[in-house]
A and B are shown apart, each in its own frame.
Chain A
Amino acid sequence: MNSEFSVKTQPLLQVKELHKHFPVKSSLGLTTGHVKAVNGVSFDIETGQTFGLVGESGCGKSTLGRTILRLIEPTSGEAAYEGTNLFALDRRELRSYRQNMQMVFQDPYTSLDPRKRVGYSIEEPLLIHKKGNKRERTEIAMALLRKVGFSEEHYDRFPHEFSGGQRQRLGIAKALALGPKLLICDEPVSALDVSIQSQVINLLEEVQEELGIAYLFIAHDLSVVRHIADRIGVMYLGEMVEQAPTEALFAHPLHPYTKSLLSAVPVPDPRAKRQRVMLSGEIPSPLKPPSGCVFHTRCPYAMEACRHTVPERQLVGPNREVKCHLYHQ
């Protein structure tokens, strides 16, 4: 196993033992506890590949994405971009590294100023990073507009003149302006209708093929993530309970949570036979996560050990790992 790892090239991004704990304050301003939104997550993103991050609301997947870019400051851990720990950089250094990593949000309105022409919004990152002169910036913006399926005449339009799917394509154009190597996409297609969703997914795939960009693709829709991701991490209550190459994860999910999550997705085929692993109850409050394995309160296979011992990350098979006592050797 070790020899196999040593010949591997360095991943584009290496996240190690990332923790983000939010303090919970009482009405008097005293810290009464912590919400462990991200609790010791480790994974790699390879150059030009897509890492899918899935999990239900409140599992910490969005916080994880934002913490990597330091839109939220981490509590502890490491995120190494081409070997440089982003968490150790000062503000100025971080700014220059940010050119390599951009974010695409669920609601493109967060990145497009409603009062500015979209051409200007796309150029804005270039202006902030003092790239090129006015004419060169405009040229780049025009090229990006064409890349995401618009024509140059759209340069002078305002965001409200575009539909939701079109705005998302503009958001992607803006994210591409600085020539990043990594895009963190947080639910980029969740708000879109299915016929529009496929346009945006196809665009992301074309861009990746052409520019060799890596994606951290955060989504709750497992069908979409299965389609786009090379590798998937499954999160539950702040922990990554399983990660594996996409095909392997869907063919043989190992963690009981992954099994139930995959089996809960409705299949658009009335003849499909379903074997659903129903979960009882709901996700516990992250304020009071269960002792031992975080999933034990809902797990159909919970054993005595699960109630008090936290499972370790186990390597199981090529490139996959799981945090579960069932696979403890």
Chain B
Amino acid sequence: MATKPLLEVKDLKVSLATETGTVVAVDGVTFHVHAGETLGIVGESGCGKSVTAESILRLFDQEDVTYSGQVLYEGTDLLQLSDRQMESIRGNEISMIFQDPMSSLNPVQTIGKQIAESLKLHRGLSGKQARRAAVELLRLTGIPSPEQRVDEHPHEISGGMRQRVMIAIALACKPKLMIADEPTTALDVTIQAQILELIGHLQAETGMGVIMITHDLGVVAEICARVAVMYLGQVVEEAGVDDLFYRPQHPYTIGLMRSIPRIDGERNRKLHVIEGTVPSLRHVPAGCRFAPRCKYADERCLHREPPLNRTADGHAVRCWYPGIAPVEEEAHELGIFG
């Protein structure tokens, strides 16, 4: 792709000041998203995927948080903008949806008013126009009888509906980039399927870029074009989705893929276990951050931090010995289980 990316995150570092010292939640994260493309960011709790996403929109309290690096949106570094300028980016250019729609919806206001609010604010519509547009947006996100729903409150509708309302609000100003943070994690699978289809459909229609943050490799395989895998505040592997699933290189990525029970394939295989637990951000291991849990780590891994190396085909890995861990089929042939 020769065109300039819509969003380019370069060496982003986010430090949070806490009562007991500074914690670096995101440490040197680099990735990009093109218009019309879906980038997946996967990882387990505490890997920094949500902090990364929220940092793009600078959602944190400025006093406790220090950013470094660059977040280039259409060439402009968002980290350098004034609060005022940033406000016109949020919702207008880049919008975000969260796992729990209830936390971002106002419980005492009708859903129509909440959608209309951002239309009036960002697009300068009149009350009447905004209401009409709100009904259309609800219809677009697949909410049945939107003319009635528009006057209901968030508690009167189901979880799946609320997520649709959130998406309607996020889309109100036709953003060029949507950041979705675990948007379907709290939903049942049949509803999840509907929401993922909706996001894909809206993306095809509007050409927006999407950053999908999730822990679910199934969701990634289903809707993402490229994937960044995060571990303890860093991207450890990044590749096209097919490349990542069929030629994973980092022992952590391979471990994750082998540890999930799958709806397809061998049912009775013993699940792989990644030994140990994710260390606290206060005790980040020296050298490679995954080394203490990695079966293949040697002296070098324990002492020297590997860089994120990118090959000519765009596959990036942060590992001294990429490809050393066996993928499922190889492990099976070698008789390595667990």
- Decide whether A and B assemble into one complex: yes
Q: Give min CB distance, A279 to chain B, whole Å.
A: 5
Known: A194-B260, A246-B267. A199 touches B273 (CB 8 A): yes
A165, A201, A267 interface centre (most CB from chain B within 10 Å): A267
B260 touches A222 (CB 8 A): no
Assuming the contacts A56-B190, A261-B190, A281-B144, asked whether A201 and B260 have C-beta atoms less than 8 A apart, the reply is no
| A223 at the B interface (CB under 8 A) | yes
Alpha-carbon distance between A264 and B191 when the two chains are bound, in angstroms: 9
Shortest Cβ gap from B84 to chain A (Å):
39
* Segment from A3-11, A68-76, A270-278, A307-315 that makes contact with B: A270-278
Q: Flag whether A266 is at the interface (Cβ < 8 A).
A: yes
Interface centre among B217, B255, B263, B267 (most CB of A within 10 A): B263
- Is B82's beta carbon under 8 Å from chain A? no
Given A198-B259, A261-B190, A278-B194, CB of A269 within 8 Å of CB of B44: no
Instruction: Using CB atoms, name the residue of chain A closest to B242.
Output: A270
Inter-chain CA distance A261–B263, complex, in Å, is 12
Contact B222 A226 (CB under 8 A): no
Asked if A272 contacts B221 (CB within 8 A), the reply is yes
Partner of A279, one of B190, B221, B257: B190
Given contacts A222-B263, A272-B264, contact A266 B273 (CB under 8 A): no
Residues in A neighbouring B262, C-beta threshold 8 A:
223, 267-268
At the interface, yes or no: A113 with Cβ under 8 Å from chain B? no
With an 8 A cutoff between CB atoms, is A2 at the interface?
no
- What is the size, in residues, of chain B's interface with A at 8 Å between Cβ atoms? 45
Known: A196-B277, A199-B273. A269 touches B189 (CB 8 A): no
Q: Contact mask A243-274 → B, CB, 8 Å, 1/0?
A: 00011001000000000111111111111101
Q: How far is the CA of A223 from the CA of B264 in the complex (A)?
A: 8
A281 to B190, CA, bound (A): 10
Over the window 210-229 of chain B, the binary record of Cβ atoms lying under 8 Å from chain A Cβ atoms (1 yes, 0 no) is 00000111111110000000
Cross-interface CB contact of B189 among A163, A220, A281, cutoff 8 Å = A220
**Once bound together, how far apart are the Cα atoms of A263 and B219, in whole Å?**
13
Enumerate chain A residues within 8 angstroms of B260, measured Cβ to Cβ.
Answer: 194, 197-198, 223, 268
